[in-house]
């Protein structure tokens, strides 16, 4: 958790009262803020001479029932502005959140009157964007960079130690579509595998096509999925490849055995013929 105490968070008073925690901080994503910038309407003001401070109570201009106390020392305002603000004035302030006697308040260190009412609209937009930014920053930093505990293949374990992929099949009858999200390289492109129908009576099956470049127009008919630098064979095509390899292996073994037997027989016959000639 990052404690950003010196970075003021633009926020409306209504949201501030809802989201603040008991420790006087606002948590958004992986960041915590204790300094805020807000706009409020003055509904109460009095001077505390023993502490040389002014105590205000300001409310949210859009939600008047949501209010918060503000403590400001004398001399915070500029010389050309009054020391106190009249009832109903809109003020722009920046300060630190504090709990005083179990009451949430803002200890202001910058205070001024709004130049125009549009400043409040600007603050609302800044508050929305700041919240969205810190939430998305937390999402991307925690979702896309994840260390996988059990990689699928040794190549993944060697080359991509921080990788999270998700394959999403689409509803299609003739073609099975996949969309792979590579979290490390931030790649997003569709890959397709064309299904072939084979009958049981067919003796041989058509060989696999040579993989083409993803940029070529025929890249959606590949039997091999090209994903970055890795080539993955679909489950459907992989079964036929394994079966073909087993058949070829058995055939090669049979040919080798037969050849060795023929060679041994010819050797024995030649030895017998030579022995007969000697005698």
Comparison of pLDDT for 200 and 251, the residue scoring more = 251
pLDDT tens profile 138-177 = 766 665 554 444 444 544 444 444 434 443 444 443 333 3
Comparison of pLDDT for 258 and 71, the residue scoring more = 71
Q: What pLDDT score does 51 carry?
A: 83
Q: What pLDDT score does 79 carry?
A: 65
Nearest 5 degrees, angle CA 78-CA 98-CA 127?
70
CA distances from 175 to 79, 195, 256 (A): 74, 6, 42
Percent of the chain with pLDDT strictly greater than 70: 50
CA distances from 99 to 60, 96, 193 (A): 19, 10, 62
Do 95 and 38 touch, CB atoms closer than 8 A?
no
Comparison of pLDDT for 96 and 149, the residue scoring more = 96
Nearest 5 degrees, angle CA 72-CA 57-CA 47?
50
CA distance 43 to 96: 20
Does the structure show a pLDDT above 50 at 92?
yes
Give me the residue spans of the domains in the chain.
9-137
Q: What pLDDT score does 43 carry?
A: 94
Q: What pLDDT score does 104 carry?
A: 92
Q: What pLDDT score does 42 carry?
A: 95
CA distance 145 to 141: 6
Comparison of pLDDT for 44 and 82, the residue scoring more = 44
CA distance 87 to 46: 11
Strand-pair partners of 172: none
Strand-pair partners of 193: 176
Please report the DSSP string for 8-70 in residue order: PEE--HHHHHHHB-TTS-EEETTEEE-EEEEEEEEEEEEEETTTTEEEEEEE-SS-TT-EEEE
> Comparing 71-75, 102-106, 262-266, which segment has the lowest mean pLDDT?
262-266
Query: Which H or E run contains 92?
Result: strand 90-100
Most confident listed range (59-68, 158-167, 169-178, 255-264): 59-68
Does the structure show a pLDDT above 60 at 94?
yes
Please report the DSSP string for 62-78 in residue order: S-TT-EEEEEEETT-S-
pLDDT tens profile 218-245 = 444 444 444 444 445 444 555 566 677 7
**Position 85 confidence tier, pLDDT thresholds 50, 70, 90:** confident
Does the structure show a pLDDT above 60 at 78?
yes
**Position 48 confidence tier, pLDDT thresholds 50, 70, 90:** confident
pLDDT tens profile 24-37 = 899 998 899 999 99
Does the structure show a pLDDT above 50 at 52?
yes
Does the structure show a pLDDT above 60 at 210?
no
CATH number given to 9-137: 2.40.50.140
pLDDT tens profile 97-143 = 999 888 899 999 889 999 898 999 999 999 999 999 988 877 666 65
**Position 44 confidence tier, pLDDT thresholds 50, 70, 90:** very high
- pTM score > 0.85 for this model? no
Identify the three-state secondary structure at position 170: coil
**How does the average pLDDT of the chain come out, rounded?**
70
């Amino acid at each position: 958790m990052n404690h950003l105490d010196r970075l003021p968070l633009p926020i409306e008073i209504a949201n501030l009262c809802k989201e603040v925690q008991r420790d006087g901080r606002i948590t958004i994503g992986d960041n915590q803020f204790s300094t805020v910038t807000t706009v409020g309407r003055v509904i109460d003001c009095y001077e505390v001479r023993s502490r040389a401070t002014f105590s205000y109570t300001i409310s949210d201009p859009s939600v008047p029932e949501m209010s918060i106390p503000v403590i400001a020392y004398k001399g915070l305002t500029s010389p050309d502005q009054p020391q106190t603000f009249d009832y109903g004035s809109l003020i722009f302030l920046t300060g630190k959140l504090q709990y005083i006697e179990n009451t949430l308040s803002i200890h202001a260190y910058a205070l001024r009157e709004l130049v125009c009412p549009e400043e409040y609209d600007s603050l609302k937009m800044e508050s929305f964007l700041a919240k969205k930014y810190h939430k998305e920053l937390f999402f991307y930093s925690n979702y896309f960079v994840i260390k996988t505990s059990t990689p699928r293949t040794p190549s993944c374990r060697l080359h991509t130690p921080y990788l999270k992929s998700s394959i999403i099949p689409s509803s299609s009858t003739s073609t099975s579509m996949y969309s792979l999200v590579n979290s490390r390289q931030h790649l997003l492109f569709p890959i397709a595998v064309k299904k072939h129908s084979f009958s049981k009576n067919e003796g041989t099956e058509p060989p696999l096509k040579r993989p083409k470049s993803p940029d070529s127009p025929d890249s959606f008919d590949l039997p091999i999925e090209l994903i970055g630098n890795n080539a993955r064979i679909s489950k459907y095509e992989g079964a036929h490849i394994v079966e073909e390899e087993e058949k070829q292996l058995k055939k090669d073994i049979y040919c080798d055995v037969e050849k060795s037997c023929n060679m041994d027989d010819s050797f024995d016959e030649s030895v017998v013929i030579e022995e007969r000639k000697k005698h």
